């Protein structure tokens, strides 16, 4: 047993695990910067999507179609490499952010999750029964109070499982930002592979860490479902 443990400690997976782990903070920074912003913007875009203002609704629908219809990797490349080739942008204040792979990653991830999140929240808003809205109006609720007290709370509760899937996809999507030279966990795994020519050991270590992050994300979403959907507690 002791010999087995010593051999495991000498293995590449064990050594690579701690090297890849050093990129966890960069991965978490991407998530902490893009997820809250994406959540707020997705709610705003969802409200615009169900708006009676036709030009607003159609503009947002077009944005969602384009973002959902193109790969995230292409979007990252366009932001990181494409915008940097535009002279106007290089000479403007935007270049201070766009020259950094971190901010390009945050922008790309936010733009992507807003499109998917907006459609998820739109479905939640449109699933609210008409009687619930009419009850609020009969009590004299203003439009803003109706949104804050009835529409958004009910919609968010209904879409928690679907939005939880989007959060998990976002955790995995952070790995694509490594292609902009940003050294998060996948970036470090690729660096290890280039040095050791051992891709399996490097990416097994990275995969274990992503699995752990998604395990925590699943538990977080389950807790939110348990807290805000009391009628489901018996089934869980």
**The tokens 């109706």 sit on which residue?**
146
Domain check: are 67 and 164 in the same one? yes
pLDDT digits (tens, 9 = 90+) for 138-155: 878 888 888 888 888 889
Q: Report how many helices (DSSP H) and strands (DSSP E) the chain contains, helices first.
A: 13, 0
Domain check: are 129 and 156 in the same one? yes
Domain check: are 222 and 110 in the same one? no
Residues 6 or more apart whose CB falls under 8 angstroms from that of 180 comprise 76, 80, 101, 104, 105
From the number of C-beta atoms within 10 Å of its C-beta (0-12, 13-18, 19+), residue 194 rates as exposed
Domain check: are 78 and 168 in the same one? yes
Tally the domains of the chain: 2
Domain check: are 65 and 11 in the same one? no
Domain check: are 156 and 235 in the same one? no
Q: Is 123 helix (H, G, I), strand (E, B) or coil?
A: helix
Mean pLDDT, rounded, for 27-56: 94
pLDDT digits (tens, 9 = 90+) for 42-72: 999 999 999 889 999 999 999 999 999 999 9
In Å, how far are 102, 147, 219 from 31, measured between CA atoms?
Answer: 11, 27, 17
Domain check: are 167 and 209 in the same one? no
CATH code assigned at 47: 1.10.3720.10
What's the whole-model pTM score? 0.88
Q: Tell me how far apart the alpha carbons of residues 135 and 144 are, in angstroms, rounded to a whole number.
A: 15
Provide the domain limits for residue 15: 1-23+183-236
- Least Cα distance to 77 among 222, 219, 181, 231 occurs for 181
**pLDDT at residue 4 tops 70:** no
């Amino acid at each position: 047993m002791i010999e087995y443990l010593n051999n495991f400690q000498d293995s590449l997976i064990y050594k690579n695990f701690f090297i890849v782990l050093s990129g966890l903070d960069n991965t978490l920074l991407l998530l902490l910067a893009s997820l809250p912003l994406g959540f707020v913007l997705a709610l705003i875009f969802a409200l615009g999507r169900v708006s009676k203002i036709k030009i607003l609704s159609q503009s947002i629908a077009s944005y969602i179609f384009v973002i959902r219809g193109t790969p995230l990797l292409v979007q990252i490349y366009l932001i990181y490499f494409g915008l940097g080739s535009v002279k106007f942008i290089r000479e403007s204040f935007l270049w201070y952010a766009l020259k950094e792979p971190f901010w390009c990653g945050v922008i790309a991830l936010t733009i992507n999750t807003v499109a998917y999140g907006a459609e998820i929240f739109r479905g939640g808003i449109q699933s609210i029964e008409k009687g619930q809205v009419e009850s609020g109006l009969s009590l004299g609720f203003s439009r803003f109070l109706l949104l804050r007290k009835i529409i958004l709370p009910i919609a968010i509760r209904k879409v928690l499982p679907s939005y939880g899937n989007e959060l998990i996809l976002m955790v995995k999507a952070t790995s694509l930002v490594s292609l902009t030279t940003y050294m998060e966990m996948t970036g470090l795994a690729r660096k290890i592979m280039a040095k050791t020519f051992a891709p399996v050991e490097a990416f097994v270590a990275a995969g274990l860490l992503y699995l752990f992050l998604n395990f925590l994300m699943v538990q977080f979403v389950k807790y939110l479902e348990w807290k805000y959907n009391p009628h489901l507690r018996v089934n869980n």
